[in-house]
Structure 1
């Protein structure tokens, strides 16, 4: 089944839980397309654009002060790439009910609210997310 092609300005959404951490983005997760072709004046997103995207976020763990970190896309679902290429690079698609794998990496660890005031680990946590395409008529 076909799926909308993603473009510059489309969005990524993330499930809130990355392991034990509840993650809240600081703002919308807007995609930046670098493809040569455009749709309604917006560059298309090609495979690789997802790896350049990072979004700041806060995170929460019960019994800890809030921490901060970066959310990124680790790996696309197979249905989120076009089976053919445009300009030598596969297109990124919204996907049909598909979710990509996301990563949250703490940059300012949460700290335990009581003694011994131990900081959270800085090991990344994995989560899931999906894309929201703002155009629906160009599909692949």
Structure 2
């Protein structure tokens, strides 16, 4: 099925719910490495999503209501976000698709407001996200 090809400058939007953690999300920006361009921006290839890293996001995870911080990234793509036929440099291009699996890596654990405070024991939370694109012309499959 045809879908829009992602290009440099497109955004990865993270949903704020990561299991029991609530993350103050910010979008990640894609940087394409493909040779062809769309609207003077390089197209994105499978693997470019690994460069989307959003550091310094605060979070809470009840009962740990004193905020902690961590980093957002894309863990894996949905099958409909990888082109089956369109390639650049022998690598599949990225498509807008549906939702990807996101990862929130805790760097400073959220804590309970007790004395002494108890840190959040979970180091990684999984969630979801989706891509938005400014490319409304070129599609691939």
Q: TM-score, normalised by structure 2?
A: 0.91
Q: How many residues align?
A: 137
Query: 2:102–2:129: 8 Å Cα contact kept in structure 1?
Result: yes
Deviation at 1:122, TM superposition (A): 4.5
Instruction: Give the gaps of 5 or more residues in structure 1.
Output: none
Query: 1:107–1:122: 8 Å Cα contact kept in structure 2?
Result: no
Partner of 1:89: 91
**Is 1:60 the equivalent of 2:60?**
yes
**Helix, strand or coil at the partner of 1:121:** coil
Q: TM-score, normalised by structure 1?
A: 0.92
**Helix, strand or coil at the partner of 1:79:** helix
Query: 2:20–2:62: 8 Å Cα contact kept in structure 1?
Result: no
Greater per-residue strand proportion? 2
Write out per-residue CA displacement over residues 84-105 of structure 1, whole angstroms, 9 at most, x where no aligned residue.
222211000001xx11111100
* Dislocated runs of 4+, deviation >6 Å: none
Query: 1:10–1:131: 8 Å Cα contact kept in structure 2?
Result: yes
**Helix, strand or coil at the partner of 1:66:** strand
**Helix, strand or coil at the partner of 1:6:** coil
